[in-house]
Amino acid sequence: MLATVVEAPFDSPDHVFEVKWGGVRAIAEVDDGRMRIQGRNLRDLTALYPELAPLPGCLRARSAIVDGEIIAWDGGPLPTPQLLRPRLLQPDETVPRKRRSPIIYQVFDLLELDGVSLLSRPLFERRNLLHEHLETHRVIQAADFVQNDGIAFFDAVASHHLEGVIAKDRWSPYLPGERSGAWQEIRASQADNFVVGGYSFGGGAKGELISSLLLGIYERDKLRYVGEVSVGVGRREAQLLIDLLMPVHAGACPFPETPTVNRLIHWCQPELAVHVQYAQWHDGRLRFPLFVAPRPDVPASECVQL
C-alpha cells in the first residue's frame, strides 16, 4: 500500500502520524521459524539483512506477515540513508559483515496473523494487534506514531531534517499495491526516487569509473529528463553501481529529447531507480541534486512526479 503526496500537514482525530524515514520498504513473512523479507519490486532481500533473523522469535505467533521500513542508524541522533548504499548496491548474496551498517526494522503494520488475513480490518485494530504480538528487539521494533497533532509532529520532523510524515486514516483497510488517499505523505525535505536513463564517464577525476547519472521521471508513458546528478562514491561502490547498470545498457537514448552532456554516455533502459535529494525544481530540472543511494527495490514505474 502506497501513500498519496499532499502539500501541507494537518491535525485530525481520525489519523495517526508516523515518520517517513527514507529507508527501504520491506514486507516480512514468517512461518514456523522461517522468514522471507521482500522489497517493493518483489525482490527477496532476506540475505541482505541477516541481522533481522531474530524476527520470528519476536513474534508471538506461528505465522505472520508484517510491513515496515528498514533504516540505517550509526548510533547518532538521526538515521543516515546513505549507510544503506552498500547493501542496495550488493547482488543477492549476503553482504560481508565489514560492509554492513547498523539497521533497525521499523514495523508499522500487521497484514496476516496465524493464517488469518487482516487486510480488511481497520488500521487501528491492526496496529493494536501488532503491538500485542511483536516484542521489541535491538534491531526490530513496532514503529511509534502520534495521534491528532499532525502539524506539531510535522514541525518536529522538519526541524530534525527528516524526510517527512505519513498520515494514515485509522479506519482504513490495507490495500496492497494501491496508492490510496487513506495514506498521505507530507514531505519535509526535497527528496524522491528517479529513473536512471544513462550515465556519464570521463572528464572527471583520474580513473573515475562513473561521473554522473542522467535522471528522469515518468509522465504518462514517457520518460522526461530532469537533470543529472554527480555520483561521488568510492571506486568499489562505483563499480557495484556500474554492475547494476550494465545489464540494462541500451543502444539509444530513452528520453524523447537527447540531453546535452559534455562527456561520454552509456544509455540505459529505464529500469533502475535511485534516491536523490535536491534543493528545488526550476524549469523542469532539479537544482543542486545529491545522490543518496540506488533503489533496486523500487519499481521504475513508480518514479513519477506526484
- Choose one of 154, 187, 220: the last residue of a domain: 187
| Paired sense of beta strands 12-20 and 24-31, if any | unpaired
DSSP H helical ranges for the chain: 55-58, 85-89, 123-133, 150-159, 235-245
Residue 49: CATH number of its domain: 3.30.470.30
Cell numbers representing residue 212 in the block: 554522473
Domain identity same for 115 and 207: no
The distance from CA 130 to its chain's CA centroid, rounded to whole angstroms, is 22
- Choose one of 187, 211, 240: the last residue of a domain: 187
Domain identity same for 183 and 197: no
Number of domains, the chain? 2
Structural domain boundaries, residue 28: 2-187
Domain identity same for 29 and 162: yes
**pLDDT in single tens digits along all 306 residues of the chain:** 999 989 899 999 999 999 998 889 999 999 999 999 998 888 888 988 999 999 999 999 999 999 999 998 766 667 777 778 777 776 555 555 655 678 899 999 999 999 999 999 999 999 999 999 999 999 999 999 999 999 999 999 988 888 899 999 999 999 998 888 999 999 888 888 999 999 988 655 555 678 899 999 998 888 999 999 998 888 888 888 888 999 999 989 999 989 888 788 899 999 999 999 888 888 889 988 999 889 988 889 889 876
**Cα–Cα distance between 191 and 14 in angstroms, integer?**
27
Cell numbers representing residue 260 in the block: 546535452
Short-list 104, 97, 125, CA closest to 113: 125
Cell numbers representing residue 38 in the block: 521482500
- Choose one of 168, 187, 206: the last residue of a domain: 187
pTM exceeds 0.85: no
DSSP 17-73: EEEE---EEEEEEEETTEEEEE-TTS-B-GGG-GGGTTHHHHBSSSEEEEEEEEEE-
How does pLDDT run across 64-117, given as a tens digit for each residue? 999 999 998 766 667 777 778 777 776 555 555 655 678 899 999 999 999 999
Residue type, position 151, single letter? I
Q: Which residues neighbour 220 within 8 Å (Cβ) at sequence distance 6 or greater?
A: none
Domain identity same for 29 and 158: yes
**Cα–Cα distance between 224 and 195 in angstroms, integer?**
10
Residue 252: CATH number of its domain: 2.40.50.140
Domain identity same for 43 and 96: yes
Domain identity same for 180 and 212: no
Q: Is-contact 25 69, C-beta < 8 A?
A: yes
Domain identity same for 205 and 178: no
Q: Is-contact 270 253, C-beta < 8 A?
A: no
Three-state SS for 153?
Answer: helix
**Cα–Cα distance between 252 and 246 in angstroms, integer?**
14
Domain identity same for 217 and 74: no
Domain identity same for 214 and 272: yes
Domain identity same for 102 and 58: yes
26 C-beta neighbours (distance < 10 Å), count: 24
Domain identity same for 95 and 108: yes
Domain identity same for 139 and 19: yes
Measured between alpha carbons, how far is residue 145 from residues 25, 113, 186, 221, 276 in Å? 17, 22, 15, 37, 26
Short-list 192, 188, 185, CA closest to 17: 185
Looking at residue 207, what is its pLDDT? 58
